[in-house]
Structure formats: structure tokens, C-alpha cells
């Protein structure tokens, strides 16, 4: 905690900025710490980016107004020692120039759309292409690369932030002005809930998610191959070489993709399955057994054996992208000063299946005027 605070201030000072507290103070809310903000840095055009701090039930969260980024998420181990379990940077410049979506909110369409093309109500759309021939995480300037309006709240024993962003009609090629509200809530047990809401004025496609890179031993502590992972999914969506689903819902049984019983991430990561070779590890969407549900249901558990820290994920969404940090390559230096290498973190992104706008057999991601897109994912921590 102290280290992170110092490095944030050092980063701001290096950019010639005063790291003054500008927020609502640190008054204790019922059970939690009222969110407060400081200046984190400035964009090239002078726009200020703030870092919000909130805490509840043993969890400490820091969130940027840039991309709704979770810059730091601290949870205790079995001895009560806190560690930041989310990869990130200590300065805005790296978030702008180099981030592989560390901790960010992803939209308008999380994951990939083949060739960035789809047809909706008979009309063809070309959206921004930024991953070979495909569109990834909303295109060259997705929701992760915008400043969001942030509004703190306390409600009973909960503390949290409402984050607002309006994506105008045609932005990145998507139809319809999309009004997005994301709420981060920390409850008195330290659980972190994300609520996503969106409305549109024209038919569009939406798939919002959060891109936290987890390392439950602490960011910068090395590989996640010894983390144990369980995913409640009997099928996954195999992909082509561009990581676009083929449309098949393949059985995980008898393959390295079988995480129905908890196993170490590293156990089968070198099994040589063609799907792993082309993805350089795990980078696939698991078809959650429960399907779309009215309320969040448990879908995955991640456990780090040495610290005892656990993360349980519940969602109402039909899919979970498990990405084993394959493209981290030693070129990025994280919050605590360590270089991030391949497999130093993993992502568990609750969402609809990739390329759904082009896959009629996948659950629909179309949002129409008059409808409200509403989804929830809950992260529960233990040790």
C-alpha cells in the first residue's frame, strides 16, 4: 500500500504535478472508506486523470478516471498481509502508450469481431480493426482509452464509484449513441461487484467486460502457473489462428481445456494442443454450463496456494475468457518496479462469446433502443 502510494506520487511528481488530495476526504462510511481522489497525471492535451481510492472489508481498490482502470487491488493473504493482486502502471503515460488493457473497462465490444465486420438489420458495419485483420476490445480507441466521469457513493455499508461514458453514434464504426454506466461496489466483506448498464438510440452490439490481470501472489511476483483454477464449463469455443471462434462448442473433456476440477494453470499449459499453440497458451472463451442467468452464479475459482488467497467469480454472463497472459513479453515495467513476462498474470473476463455478431448460433449481443443492457459480475476474495 505505502509503496504504491509513494510510486503514484513519484509518478505524478515526475510529470511535474502536485499530488494533492482533491476528493471527498477520508471520512469513514458505515463499514468502509469514503472514496477520495488525487491527481494521477495529465494527458497530452492537459486533461487531468484522477486516481480514486476506496476500501471496505479488507479490500483496497484504486481506480483511474482513464478507462475505469483498476490500478491497484489489494487483498489480504492467510496471515493478513495485503498485496496488490492486479497488474498495472504507476504513471498515466504508460497507460496511454503501452497498456495491454491492464485493469481496464472494455467496450463497446469486448473480445474480437472477425475482420471488424458484421451485419445488423440488413446493414453492414465496418468497425475499427486493431488486431491483425480483426477488431479487439472495441478497436483502436475503445472504452479503455477515454476519460470517464466518476461519481463516488456510499450506500449503507457499501462504498463505490459510478463511472459514466457516452460513446457517440459512429465511434469506432459502431452504430448508435451508447450511454454507459458502470458501478464498482466494495461491500463490507471486501467483495468487488461490477454492474454494467447501457442504453442506445439505434440498434447496436454491446459486450462489456473488465480486463484485470490477476496474480494472487502479488503483481510482479512471477508466474501464475501454480495458481489453481476451476471453471464450471464443459465446453469452450475453439478458434482460428486469428482467435476468432470457428462456431463449434467443443467439449473440454480429455483436453487441456478441462478445468471442471481445480488444477494448476501450468499443469497442461504445455500439452501441445493445436488450440494452445496458436494462442500461445490459454486464450479462449469457456461456455459456462449455467448459461445466461437472471442473477450472478458462481463460475470460476482461482487459488494461489502459497498465500492462500482465493478469488471466486460469479456472473450472469454466458462466457468466460481465460487468457493466461501469453503476450506479456518483458517489455513492460509494472507498479512495483518489476518487469512483466509471459504468464505473470491471467485474465478471467466475464462476457458474451467472441464474434457473436457473426455467429447466429451464439447468444445475441444486439441492443436495441428501449432496451437496457444490464449485467453483473461479483468477485469474492478469501484466504
Indicate which residue of 171, 228, 349, 352 is catalytic.
349
d(CA 67, CA 355): 22
**Minimum gap (Å) between residue 20 Cβ and ligand BGC:** 33
Give the DSSP H or E segment for 72: strand 70-76
Q: Catalytic site residue 349?
A: yes
| 132 lies in the binding site for ligand BGC (CB under 6 A) | no
Q: Catalytic site residue 284?
A: no
**Minimum gap (Å) between residue 243 Cβ and ligand BGC:** 6
* Interface residue with ligand BGC, options 323, 340, 353, 362 (CB under 6 A): 323
Smallest Cα–Cα separation from 300: which of 331, 328, 323, 273? 323
* Interface residue with ligand BGC, options 349, 357, 373, 379 (CB under 6 A): 349
Is residue 105 within 8 A of residue 68, CB to CB? The reply is yes
**Minimum gap (Å) between residue 167 Cβ and ligand BGC:** 19
Indicate which residue of 211, 227, 284, 352 is catalytic.
211
**Minimum gap (Å) between residue 127 Cβ and ligand BGC:** 17
- For residue 84, give the C-alpha cell: 496488490
- Residue by residue, DSSP assigns 135-174 as EETTSTT-GGGSBPEEEEEEETTEEEEEEEEEEPTTGGG-
Three-class DSSP labels, 268-304:
CCCCCCHHHHHHCCCEEEEECCCCCCCCCEEEEEEEC
| 244 lies in the binding site for ligand BGC (CB under 6 A) | no
Choice between 100 and 138, CB closer to ligand BGC: 100
For residue 230, what is the DSSP state?
E
Binding region for ligand BGC (CB under 6 A) out of 14-22, 41-49, 320-328, 335-343 = 320-328
**Minimum gap (Å) between residue 359 Cβ and ligand BGC:** 16
> Which residue carries 482513464 as its cell?
66
* Interface residue with ligand BGC, options 126, 327, 329, 330 (CB under 6 A): 327
State whether the Cα torsion 230-257-263-84 is positive or negative: negative
Choice between 17 and 96, CB closer to ligand BGC: 96
Helix, coil or strand: residue 115: helix
| 100 lies in the binding site for ligand BGC (CB under 6 A) | yes
Name the site residues for ligand BGC (rule: CB under 6 A). 100-101, 243, 283, 321, 323, 327, 347, 349
> What residues act catalytically?
211, 349
Amino acid at each position: 500500500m505505502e509503496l504504491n502510494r509513494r510510486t503514484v506520487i513519484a509518478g505524478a511528481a515526475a510529470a511535474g504535478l502536485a499530488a494533492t488530495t482533491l476528493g471527498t476526504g477520508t471520512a469513514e462510511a458505515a463499514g468502509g472508506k469514503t472514496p477520495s481522489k488525487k491527481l494521477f497525471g495529465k494527458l497530452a492535451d492537459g486533461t487531468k486523470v484522477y486516481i480514486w481510492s476506496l476500501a471496505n472489508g479488507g479490500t483496497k481498490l484504486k481506480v483511474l478516471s482513464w478507462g475505469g482502470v483498476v490500478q491497484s487491488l489489494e487483498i489480504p493473504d492467510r496471515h493478513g498481509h495485503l498485496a496488490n493482486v492486479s497488474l498495472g502502471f504507476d504513471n498515466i503515460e504508460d497507460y496511454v502508450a503501452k497498456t495491454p488493457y491492464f485493469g481496464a473497462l472494455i467496450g463497446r465490444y469486448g473480445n474480437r469481431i472477425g475482420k471488424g465486420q458484421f451485419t445488423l438489420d440488413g446493414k453492414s458495419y465496418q468497425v475499427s480493426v486493431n488486431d491483425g485483420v480483426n477488431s479487439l476490445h472495441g478497436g483502436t480507441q475503445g472504452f479503455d482509452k477515454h476519460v470517464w466521469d466518476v461519481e463516488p457513493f456510499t450506500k449503507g455499508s457499501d462504498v463505490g464509484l459510478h463511472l459514466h461514458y457516452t460513446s457517440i453514434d459512429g465511434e469506432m464504426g459502431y452504430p448508435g449513441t451508447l450511454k454507459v454506466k458502470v458501478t464498482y461496489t466494495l461491500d463490507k466483506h471486501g467483495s468487488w461487484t461490477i454492474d454494467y448498464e447501457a442504453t442506445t438510440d439505434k440498434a447496436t452490439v454491446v459486450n462489456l467486460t473488465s480486463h484485470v490481470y490477476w496474480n494472487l501472489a502479488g503483481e510482479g511476483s512471477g508466474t501464475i502457473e501454480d495458481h489453481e483454477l476451476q471453471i464450471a464449463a464443459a465446453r469452450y469455443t475453439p478458434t482460428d489462428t486469428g482467435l476468432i471462434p470457428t462456431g463449434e462448442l467443443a467439449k473440454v473433456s480429455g483436453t487441456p481445456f478441462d478445468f471442471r476440477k481445480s488444477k494448476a494453470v501450468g499443469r497442461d499449459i504445455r500439452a501441445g494442443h493445436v488450440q494452445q499453440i496458436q494462442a500461445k497458451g490459454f486464450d479462449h472463451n469457456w461456455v459456462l454450463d449455467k448459461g445466461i442467468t437472471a442473477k450472478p452464479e458462481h463460475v470460476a475459482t482461482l487459488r494461489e496456494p502459497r498465500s492462500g488467497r482465493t478469488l471466486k467469480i460469479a456472473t450472469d454472463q454466458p462466457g468466460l475468457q481465460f487468457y493466461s497472459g501469453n503476450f506479456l513479453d518483458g517489455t513492460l515495467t509494472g507498479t512495483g518496479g518489476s518487469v512483466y513476462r509471459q504468464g505473470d498474470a491471467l485474465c478471467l473476463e466475464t462476457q458474451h462469446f467472441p464474434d457473436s455478431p457473426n455467429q447466429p448460433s451464439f447468444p445475441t449481443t444486439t441492443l436495441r433502443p428501449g432496451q437496457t443492457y444490464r449485467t453483473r459480475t461479483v468477485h469474492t476474495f478469501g484466504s
